Amino acid sequence: MTPTVPTRPTSRRQARGDRTRARIIDLTVSSLLDHGLDGVNVRSIAQEAGVTWGVVQYHFGDREGLLAAVVTQGFDDLTEALGPLGDVAAVGDVRERVRAAVATAWPAMSSPTSRAAIEVLISTRATRSGAGRQQIARLSQLFASLGEAVGSTLSPDRAAALGAFMLTNLRGLVASQLIVSPRIDVTAELDLLVDVITTYIGAGPDG
């Protein structure tokens, strides 16, 4: 009879592998934000993570695979953070709904992993790849749904346009923080965004 292979060691190896993968991604995010795309040295990251280059290859394939993993992780985190935004439809008046949406969307968009993902998309041709376009389409759909929740009185087309407007402005603010050091305070810009969106919704379905 063939002996039963215990599953617990495999589970421990899987958990260890997941932790290693997460640590490499976290270190890559830090490198991207500190040094930009050109400053990302995967062998240095492997050394800091306490692993060999072969381990990095096992998990990600190569440098491009690692950068793609950062983008995927950034958009996964962003999707999770933006998930509850559909609930803003039940929040107070229009201005309160808009403020709640922006107050939740901005920290999600400007988190380290999300900023690193946007840095990769801006600095490479990833936006032209199938995977890059899928991630951007995924984000656009999230904000289209947010536009529908915030602008529930608008026509579907205007609600979708509202979501796209919010996404474009928040991405622009993230980009400004990537190129300006130290990071600029965008409180005034976020307040203005709330004002503009509130006015847009207040104009009504045909305004």
Q: Which residue type sits at 61?
A: G
DSSP notation for 12-75: HHHHHHHHHHHHHHHHHHHHHHHH-GGG--HHHHHHHHT--HHHHHHHHSSHHHHHHHHHHHHH
How large a percentage of the chain has pLDDT more than 70? 84
Instruction: State yes or no: pLDDT of 46 exceeds 50.
Output: yes
Angle, helices 53-60/63-82, rounded to nearest 10 degrees: 60
**Beta carbons within 10 angstroms of residue 32's beta carbon:** 24
Task: Please name each of the domains of the chain with its CATH number.
Answer: 8-202 (1.10.357.10)
What pLDDT, on the 0 to 100 scale, is given for residue 7?
A: 44
Q: Rounded distance, CA 140 to CA 26, Å?
A: 25
CA atoms within 13 A on the CB side of 148: 10
pLDDT tens per residue, range 140-187: 888 888 888 888 888 989 988 999 999 999 989 988 888 877 778 899
Please count the helices (runs of H) and the strands (runs of E) in the chain: 9, 0
Question: pLDDT class for 60, splitting at 50, 70, 90?
Answer: very high
